[in-house]
């Protein structure tokens, strides 16, 4: 079992060290250096040879041992590729050819309680038959089921994408009349029988509801969720359940120690909107490691058997919710469903690592306006979100680039990349990419250019609405000396034309941008 230490967080905002970053994004040796309290990582860029995998960062200390690598990395066992499935063809046999497709690829999202159920509920065969032509159009156009990951990615569990033969079969069935050969009341449960968490031990409510206003369009609020645990406990699954989905943009949860509660309660009491305004992180004077997260399209997170997140007695969760208040709503009371395992269990601890790349998107050559000046756009972002909510300069320094490196990207399309060392070691549980609304592509590559290069996640057409935690189907381990390359691109034509022309950079607003990823390991 790994040590029960705080999770390491990439965003250690130590600008004194970040300012020393030099060189290009592709020749960075960013060795993690543990601070004395073992709660943060400072990415120090040095002109040194790349890590040889020994775990020696040049400081004389064994980083691998300090970072939990005293546990042997989990080695993936080779396995034979899965046999190709038999092609599906509709032959007046709905039960054999069509129904299994909806059970396997659609029901987990559209059964009652699933993330797609507010839009269309799939409970019985009648729900399919009554909507046959609409469903055929949705799958024929590739709109449903949503699966942004492209074929260059590694294989993933729970892949709900449809093959061409499955799409053709659905379209043929629907256009030939949409007849069914089973009782229309026949249930259509998800293939694995689960929608949401397998078990829910508690559903945590926020200490206060959020009552925002469109006067603050992008409001980041930190809300207290107290599990009231009196003993150390493993969190083995969770599900963030947004209440007012029309304004909940995304959410990030931080784990705070019991001694931080009084300060958190004081912050919450000082603000009658609910919680307290917080850009960047929780804003509390305590270590606040990234603990959980949610983005549009995500369902529940259930960690693999034998692994979980450790919670000390009295610890509590602060969830930073990004509210995009384009409309006025009733107060929001998003909840957190949790699945626990007794603290005496011998589990592997889950670690969550963040890897980022710059976001610098100049105005296109046919756009003009005062905010097309980067300095003006940066000043406005800082005025809106404070320095903590505008990380453009920090990310550029981390990756060894300057705004001038992107100045020529004036055709409406911009891109960036950053290669960083892996700093949480073990077997990969999931990977996630994150951009905002003008994202075009995303890619995450393990050990680029090496013999063991793997494209962990390739999204050839970015979709803000579907930001999954993708779980590799085969074991993939990361170890000291490994690196990851993060690449993003953006398309300004996707921007709301009613917005004032502006240079776009890394900041917390919905109309700003990010190039962000997480890798969860055990």
Q: Over the stretch 50-98, which tens digit does the pLDDT of each residue have?
A: 344 433 433 333 333 333 334 444 444 444 556 778 899 999 999 999 9
Range name among 134-148, 190-204, 355-369, 492-506 with the lowest pLDDT average = 190-204
Given this model, what pLDDT does residue 81 score?
Answer: 56
- Weakest-pLDDT range from 66-75, 177-186, 425-434: 66-75
DSSP output for 370-386:
GGGSHHHHHHHHHHHHT
Higher pLDDT, 332 or 300: 332
∠419-475-42 over CA atoms, to 5°? Answer: 30
User: What local confidence, expressed as pLDDT, does residue 85 receive?
Assistant: 82
pLDDT of res. 131: 96
Q: For 362-416, how does the pLDDT look when each residue is reduced to its tens digit (9 = 90+)?
A: 999 999 999 999 999 999 999 999 999 999 999 999 999 999 999 999 999 999 9
Give dist(CA 446, CA 153) in Å, integer. 11
Q: What is the band of 289 on the pLDDT scale with cuts at 50, 70, 90?
A: confident
Sign of CA dihedral 223, 228, 231, 233: negative
| Neighbouring C-beta atoms of residue 373, cutoff 10 Å | 14
Q: Hey, what are 63's tokens?
A: 């980083």
User: Is the entire prediction scored with pTM above 0.85?
Assistant: no
Domain 353-521 has CATH 2.60.120: yes
Mean predicted confidence (pLDDT) in 315-319: 97
15 confidence band (pLDDT: 50, 70, 90) = very low
Same-fold call for 202-347 versus 353-521: yes
Residue 71 has, within 13 A of its CA and on its CB side, a CA count of 21
Burial of 342 (0-12, 13-18, 19+ CB in 10 A): exposed
Q: According to the model, what pLDDT value does residue 321 have?
A: 96
Please determine, for residue 7, whether its predicted confidence score (pLDDT) is greater than 70: no
HEC string of 182-242 equals CCCCCECCCCCCCCCCCCCCEEECCCCCECCCCCCCEEEEEEEECCCCCCCEEEEEEEEEC
Closest CA to 172 of 96, 95, 98: 98
Share of the chain above pLDDT 90, in %: 72
Q: What is the pLDDT of residues 430-446, one digit of tens each?
A: 999 999 999 999 999 99
pLDDT (tens digit per residue) in 97-125: 999 999 999 998 888 877 778 789 999 99
Q: CA 321, 323, 324 angle in degrees (round to 5)?
A: 150
Alpha-carbon dihedral 123, 125, 127, 128, rounded to 10 degrees: 120
pLDDT classification of 313: cutoffs 50, 70, 90: very high
What is the spatial distance between Cα 224 and Cα 133, in angstroms, rounded to a whole number?
A: 45
Fold of 202-347: Jelly Rolls (2.60.120)
| Average pLDDT of the residues of the chain | 85
Q: Which of 23-37, 53-67, 265-279 has the highest mean pLDDT?
A: 265-279
Rounded average pLDDT over 252-269 = 96
Domain ranges of the chain: 94-175, 202-347, 353-521
Query: pLDDT band for position 38 (50/70/90)?
Result: very low
CB 360 within 8 A of CB 416: yes
pLDDT of 6 strictly over 60 = no
Q: In the prediction, which pLDDT does 430 show? A: 96
The residues, ordered by sequence, that sit 6+ positions from 35 with a Cβ below 8 Å of its Cβ are: 12, 41, 42
Sign of the alpha-carbon dihedral angle for 115, 120, 122, 123:
positive
What is the model's pLDDT at position 80? 56
- Mean pLDDT for 175-180 is 96
* 317: three-class secondary structure by DSSP: strand
What pLDDT score does 9 carry? 32
């Amino acid at each position: 079992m790994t040590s029960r230490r705080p999770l390491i967080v990439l965003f250690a905002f130590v600008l004194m060290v970040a300012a020393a970053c030099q060189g290009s994004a592709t020749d960075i040796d960013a060795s993690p250096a543990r601070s004395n309290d073992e709660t943060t990582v400072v990415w120090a860029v040095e002109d040194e040879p790349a890590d040889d995998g020994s775990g020696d960062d040049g400081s004389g200390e064994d980083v691998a041992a300090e970072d939990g690598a005293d546990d042997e990395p989990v080695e993936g066992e080779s396995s034979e590729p899965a046999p190709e499935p038999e092609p599906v063809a509709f032959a007046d046999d709905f039960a054999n050819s069509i129904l299994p497709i909806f059970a396997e690829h659609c029901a987990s999202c559209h059964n009652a309680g699933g993330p797609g159920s507010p839009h269309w509920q799939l409970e019985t065969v009648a729900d399919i038959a009554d909507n046959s032509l609409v469903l055929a159009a949705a799958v024929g156009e590739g709109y449903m089921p949503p699966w942004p990951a492209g074929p260059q990615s590694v294989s993933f569990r729970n892949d709900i994408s449809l093959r061409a033969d499955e799409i053709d079969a659905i379209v043929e069935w629907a256009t030939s009349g949409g007849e069914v050969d089973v009782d229309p009341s026949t249930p259509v449960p998800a293939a694995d029988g689960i929608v949401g968490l397998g078990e829910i031990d508690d559903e945590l409510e926020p200490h206060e509801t959020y009552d925002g206003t469109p006067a603050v369009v992008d409001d980041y609020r930190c809300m207290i969720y107290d599990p009231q645990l009196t003993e150390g406990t493993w969190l083995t699954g969770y599900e963030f359940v947004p209440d007012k989905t029309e304004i909940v943009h995304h959410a990030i949860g931080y784990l705070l120690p019991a001694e931080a509660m009084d300060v958190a309660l004081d912050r919450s009491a000082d603000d009658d909107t609910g919680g307290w305004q917080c850009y960047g992180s929780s804003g509390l004077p305590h270590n606040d490691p990234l603990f959980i997260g949610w983005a549009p399209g995500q369902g529940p997170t259930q960690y693999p058997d034998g692994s979980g997140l450790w919670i000390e007695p009295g610890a509590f969760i602060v969830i930073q919710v990004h509210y995009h208040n384009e409309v006025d709503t009733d107060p929001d009371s998003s909840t957190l469903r949790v699945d626990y395992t007794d603290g005496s269990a011998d589990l592997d601890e889950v670690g969550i690592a963040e890897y980022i790349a710059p976001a610098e998107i100049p105005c296109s050559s046919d756009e003009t306006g005062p905010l097309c000046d980067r300095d003006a756009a940066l000043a406005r972002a800082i005025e809106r979100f404070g320095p903590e909510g505008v990380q453009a300069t920090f990310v550029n320094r981390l990756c060894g680039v300057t705004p001038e490196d992107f100045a020529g990207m004036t055709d409406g399309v911009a891109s960036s990349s950053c290669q960083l060392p892996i700093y949480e070691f073990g077997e990969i549980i999931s990977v996630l990419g994150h951009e905002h609304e003008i994202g075009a592509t995303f890619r995450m590559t393990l050990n680029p250019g090496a013999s063991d290069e793997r494209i962990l996640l390739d999204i050839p057409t970015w979709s803000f609405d579907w930001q999954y935690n993708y779980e590799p189907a085969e074991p993939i381990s990361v170890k000291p000396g490994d690196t990851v390359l993060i690449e993003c691109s953006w398309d300004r034509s996707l921007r709301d034309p009613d917005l004032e022309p502006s240079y776009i950079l890394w900041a917390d607003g919905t109309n700003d941008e990010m190039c962000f990823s997480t890798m969860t390991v055990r």
